């Protein structure tokens, strides 16, 4: 089955250009166009499109609120934002409203097609710049105590932790890492001091809990 699209943008030229390009694709059909958010809500209920490509700044009813209204009644439809806005608040509000994709209007047309097909397969598509905004917001929201307790370890210390949890002795670790026994012992001491753990049993429990090793 093909992908049925509804275009919602207050610029007629933008809609016409998108329609012409989208309809060149054999698996995509543009079922309708809306020049504002209210019409987008009405046409979504009538046409039941698979995907609505939604501008954010539209008169009467903006794309964020239109998205929220559409998805509350048309649960099978999906929304891809196509906007000039890159402000953090706008991006996050659109995604919180339920959008499955977010594209910038200066993106290449090939990216629009990629986004449509990705979202049609029940996945999410974000332009690289939007992905960066979302990741930064996510990281900033995580309380420090929710980061992994291993985040302060060096790569070598993580290696030592895994080897210790797998039952390796200091001499074996030294051989595997191609360092002296004294250096291997130093890694072990640094590791235990950083984690404030002083038994192999507790180190092993931590390594399993953090996914460093398995039972």
pLDDT tens sequence across 90-124? 888 899 999 999 999 999 889 999 999 999 999 99
Based on the fold, state whether residues 95 and 168 are members of the same structural domain.
no
Based on the fold, state whether residues 161 and 136 are members of the same structural domain.
no
pTM of full prediction above 0.75? no
Domain containing 195 equals 155-209
| Count of all residues that appear for the chain in the document | 215
Instruction: Specify if 148 maps to a domain.
Output: no
d(CA 117, CA 119): 6
Angle between helices 170-177 and 181-195 (to 10 degrees): 110
Instruction: Specify if 149 maps to a domain.
Output: no
Confidence at residue 146, expressed as pLDDT on a 0 to 100 scale: 47
Based on the fold, state whether residues 68 and 130 are members of the same structural domain.
yes
Confidence at residue 174, expressed as pLDDT on a 0 to 100 scale: 92
Based on the fold, state whether residues 20 and 54 are members of the same structural domain.
yes
Of 141, 164, 187, which closes a domain?
141
Confidence at residue 172, expressed as pLDDT on a 0 to 100 scale: 93
Task: Starting at the earlier edge strand, list the strands of the sheet with 51-54.
Answer: 28-34, 3-8, 51-54, 78-83, 101-104, 125-126
Based on the fold, state whether residues 164 and 136 are members of the same structural domain.
no
Confidence at residue 36, expressed as pLDDT on a 0 to 100 scale: 93
Confidence at residue 203, expressed as pLDDT on a 0 to 100 scale: 87
Instruction: Specify if 65 maps to a domain.
Output: yes
- Which domain CATH number covers 78? 3.40.50.2300
Phi, psi (degrees; rounded to nearest 5) at 139: -65, -40
Instruction: Specify if 147 maps to a domain.
Output: no
Based on the fold, state whether residues 24 and 77 are members of the same structural domain.
yes
d(CA 28, CA 20): 11
Based on the fold, state whether residues 75 and 126 are members of the same structural domain.
yes
Digits of tens for pLDDT over the chain (215 positions)?
Answer: 699 999 999 999 999 999 999 999 999 999 999 999 999 999 999 999 999 999 998 888 899 999 999 999 998 999 999 999 888 888 888 999 999 999 999 998 899 999 999 999 999 999 988 998 888 877 676 555 544 567 778 888 888 988 998 899 999 999 998 999 999 999 999 989 988 888 888 888 888 877 777 65
């Amino acid at each position: 089955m093909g992908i049925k699209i509804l275009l919602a943008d207050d610029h007629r030229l933008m809609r016409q250009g998108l329609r012409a390009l989208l309809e060149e694709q054999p698996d995509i059909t543009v079922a309708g166009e809306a020049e504002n958010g209210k019409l987008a809500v009405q046409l979504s209920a009538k046409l039941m499109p698979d995907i609505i490509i939604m501008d954010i700044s539209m008169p009467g009813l903006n794309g964020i609120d239109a998205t929220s209204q559409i998805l509350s009644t048309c649960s099978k439809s999906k929304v891809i934002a196509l906007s000039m806005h890159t402000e953090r608040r706008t991006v996050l509000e659109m995604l919180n409203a339920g959008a499955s994709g977010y594209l910038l209007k200066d993106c290449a047309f090939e990216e629009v097609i990629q986004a449509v097909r990705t979202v049609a397969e029940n996945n999410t598509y974000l332009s690289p710049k939007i992905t960066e905004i979302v990741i930064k917001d996510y990281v900033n929201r995580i309380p420090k105590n929710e980061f992994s307790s291993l985040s302060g370890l060096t790569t070598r210390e993580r290696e030592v932790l895994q080897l210790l949890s797998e039952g390796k002795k200091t001499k074996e670790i030294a051989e595997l890492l191609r360092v002296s026994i004294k250096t291997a012992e130093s890694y072990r001491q640094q590791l235990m001091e950083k984690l404030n753990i002083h038994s192999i049993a507790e180190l092993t429990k931590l390594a399993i809990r953090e996914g460093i090793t398995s039972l």
